[in-house]
Amino acid sequence: MSAKTPQGRKQWLVEHLGKGADSRSSLMAVLPTREDRAALQRIIGPCRWELQWTGTCGEAIDVFRRARPAIVICDRDLADGDWRQLWDILGREPKPPMFIVTSRLADDALWAEVLNVGGYDLLLKPFRAEEVIRMVHAAAMELPLARPTPLACDRNAVESNQAFEIVCRAV
């Protein structure tokens, strides 16, 4: 089956995203709105990413210190602060996470600031499945001692997930 057809791309992604992953990768999403959480859950649903949900800086600090997620996806603006305040704390941890900021605006200044202070990248909202998967996978591959392919997806769940169909068409 050709990787140029939607079915071929889907098969390639299913085969390659799961190779070598023997445990769940940890991720924390700091998203204050239900809509953003639901969108991210639809995308992450079939993947073997252990996901912690928080909505404020205070909650995120508590969850991070308890669960030590490898990757943090944080909204630009939070009720009790913003991404920068959270990164100023998490970035000083002995093992800081790969830190991804989300925003509705394609803002070059924000993207540059995220990178300049040590964050990983800027993820635009509304979330697109192919972009979320690409970015989280790339961040995981840059973690110290990353597995060959640290993000795995359940083949049966992936094959029935509509969001994953979008990813397959985009690759």
Number of domains in the chain: 1
Position 15 in a domain: yes
The C-alpha torsion from 52 through 53 and 55 to 56, rounded to 10°, is: -10
Indicate whether 1 belongs to any domain.
no
Handedness of CA 49, 137, 107, 41 (dihedral sign): negative
The pLDDT, as a whole number, for residue 142 is 87
pLDDT digits (tens, 9 = 90+) for 38-65: 999 999 877 777 889 999 999 999 999 9
Residue 161, in any domain of the structure: yes
- Split at pLDDT 50, 70, 90, the class of 157 is low
pLDDT of residue 153: 54
Domain containing 136 equals 6-170
pLDDT confidence band for 148 (50 / 70 / 90): very low
> Would residue 122 count as lying in a domain?
yes
> Residue 99: inside a domain, yes or no?
yes
The CATH code of the domain that includes 21 is 3.40.50.2300
Minimum mean pLDDT among 17-31, 47-61, 127-141: which range? 17-31
